Every structure is written in structure tokens, then in C-alpha cells.
Amino acid sequence: MSEHLIQKDFISTQDWSVDDLRTAIDLATRLKAERRAGQVHDHILRAKTLYMLFFEESTRTRNSFETGMTQLGGHAVYLTPAATQIGHGENAQDTGRVLSSYGEGIAVRDCRTGIGQQYLYGMAGHADVPIFSMQDDVDHPCQAMADLMALVERFGSDLRGRKFVISWTHAPKYVRPLSVPQSLVMLMPRFGMDVTLAYPEGYHLAPHVMDTARANAAEAGVELTETDDMDEAFAGADFLYPKSWGPIMVTEDESEVEAMAAQHTDWRATTERMATASAEAVYMHCMPVDRGYEADDEVIDGPQSVIYQQAENRLHIQKALMALTMGGDL
């Protein structure tokens, strides 16, 4: 039933139907359970190769993809622009065509604003193997799917009527991409959740992403709400995802970004705010989390937190996606 997914790119969840996304979650759930039971999956992608091209460093992304390929019986090759001819100007077309003649899949992490996702789709137009987004400037599809999988595991597959909150939080240090909140605001309405997006002035998401999210919400018959009040957003919520991102629609100048963020240090997930949510509410984050800025330790390490389950699920959902698209022996 999933043969049509062979060779299919996974650049955005928007490119996959709800049924196909559910197929990926079902397989990931099966692979996770079997691994915990001691079953080995090294026959699924035996002797196949995934090329992983990183324009930015990572912890969870690299290790979950590389470990996943090893567990499936294949091999993952770590690449960077500086360690390839990309650093000398080779384009996505040539890189994609060559790498796809060697292996069975290419995964790319490229968060350059206005470039990243276009680069992936450009490569996909010429490569003969599936292209996976390991995060780009628009979407972080594997993270969003791992998040959704965590909710399905805990609350079941029927999430209709649940309130999912994506809230900006204060954090210093660097200009964080929009891809995580954008991936969530597009995906979660498709699975029946009412989504609330909370942020201070200047932290709005890309207009075309919001257009897609509103269309998804309308099609699913759910609500998509925006607010500039974090307390209002938390009230009665079921799923809370407080996460920092940069005011990229306004500026990416580091000094301006830091000055804007400093005006909203009270935007933080606290035990008091969590107490206003529903009785079974969960705290979510893609990690790394800036402790003491984005959220208090009592929230991050508390009983409502599912952040480590989300992180682990990156491994399982990516194994499922690779197995489905790279012609795995299932």
C-alpha cells in the first residue's frame, strides 16, 4: 500500500497526504517497538547509502539520521560545503545528480533564509533518489513528525479538538530560524488540532506559510488563532510548545535581534503558566532548549515534559521515512 512512496522526496510535510504521513507514523511506531524488543532491522536498507549534506552543524539531526541508517543496515556519509566542491561553487543540480548516481538517498540541512528550501527543491529536480530535508529555512518536517508521533503515542491517533500552542520565547545568543514554528503551524491543523500561535510584535512567520496553515485549518475544520498574549495562549491548552525564533521577517542583524528579544524577557515557560493549561497538558521543545530563558528547569525536567521522547522519535520517524522512500525491505 505504500509503494507509491518509493523515491518520493520528503522536503515538506505539505507534499505528503495525511494518510501517507500516518503511514510513516505507524511504521515508526512499529520500528520503535520492535527495536525495544530487541529486533534488528539491518536488512531493511542493507548496503544502501545516504549522503548527509550539512550547511549548519547539528546534534540530534546528524546522529539520528546516521544512527538510523546504521540500524537499517545502510551507511550514512557526512558532508559539508567546505569538504566538497559546493564550497567552490558547484550547484545543487550537479551535486544532486552525482551523489544520486552513487547512493540511494540525499539529506540536506540548509537554513539560509530565502535559499535553503529552494536549494532542496532544486536538487530534487535533478537527483534520481529521494531528497530529505534535515531542516531548511521554511520547514523542519522530520522534527514536526517526531513531535506529532509523541502526541499520538501519549494521547492516541484522534487529536481533534485538542489545543496546540506554539509560543515564542525569549532567548539570547543567535538568530534562530523560523522553520520549527512554521513546520508546526502547517502540520498540526491537518491532524485536527486547534492551533494558537503566540508572539510579540515583529516575530510573525512568513506570510506564505501562514496562508498555507490557514488553508490547512479551513480544510480540516479547525481553528488557527494568533495572539500577542502568552498567558492567553497557555490558558486551557493541551500541548504547549514554547520555542524561541528570530524576527527574521523584520531583521537578521544580530544586535537588532538581541535588542528586540531583550524587550520580552517575560516570555518564558514557567510552572505558573503551565498550571493554567489543561490537567494533562504536556510541555514540548525540539531542543536545544535555553534553560532559564525559554523555560524554567522545573518545566523542562518536570512530569509534563516530553522533550526527550520527541528527541528519541527523530530516530524512529526518520528510519520509517527512509525505509518507505528508499525502497526498504519491509
CATH match for 3-140+313-325 among 3.40.50.1370, 3.30.300.30, 3.20.20.110, 3.40.50.10470: 3.40.50.1370
Q: What cell numbers appear for 168 in the block?
A: 515564542
Q: What is the pLDDT of residue 175?
A: 86
Q: Where in the sequence of the chain do the CATH 3.40.50.1370 domains occur?
A: 3-140+313-325, 143-310
Q: What is the pLDDT of residue 1?
A: 62
**CA pair distance 24, 191, nearest whole angstrom:** 14
The residue type at 85: Q
Q: What cell numbers appear for 242 in the block?
A: 514554547
Nearest alpha-carbon partner for 183 in 304, 317, 77:
317
Q: What is the pLDDT of residue 122?
A: 98
SS3 324: helix
Torsion of CA 57, 60, 62, 66, to 10 degrees: 170
Q: What is the pLDDT of residue 139?
A: 98
**CA pair distance 294, 153, nearest whole angstrom:** 25
CATH match for 143-310 among 3.40.50.1370, 3.90.79.10, 3.20.20.80, 3.30.1330.60: 3.40.50.1370
Q: How far is CA 158 from CA 153, 161, 190, 193, 319, in A?
A: 11, 9, 12, 9, 24
224: β partners: 195
How many other C-beta atoms can be found within 10 angstroms of the C-beta atom of residue 251?
15
Torsion of CA 97, 62, 56, 8, to 10 degrees: 40
Q: What is the pLDDT of residues 119-140, one digit of tens each?
A: 999 999 999 999 999 999 999 9
Q: What is the pLDDT of residue 174?
A: 74
pTM value? 0.97
DSSP class per residue in 149-163 = HHHHHHH-S--TT-E
Q: Are 172 and 293 in contact (CB under 8 A)?
A: yes
Nearest alpha-carbon partner for 26 in 111, 211, 153:
153
The residue type at 230: M
**CA pair distance 128, 100, nearest whole angstrom:** 6
H or E stretch at 241: strand 239-242
Could you say which residues of the chain have pLDDT below 50?
none
165: β partners: 196, 240
291 phi/psi in degrees, rounded to 5:
-65, 135
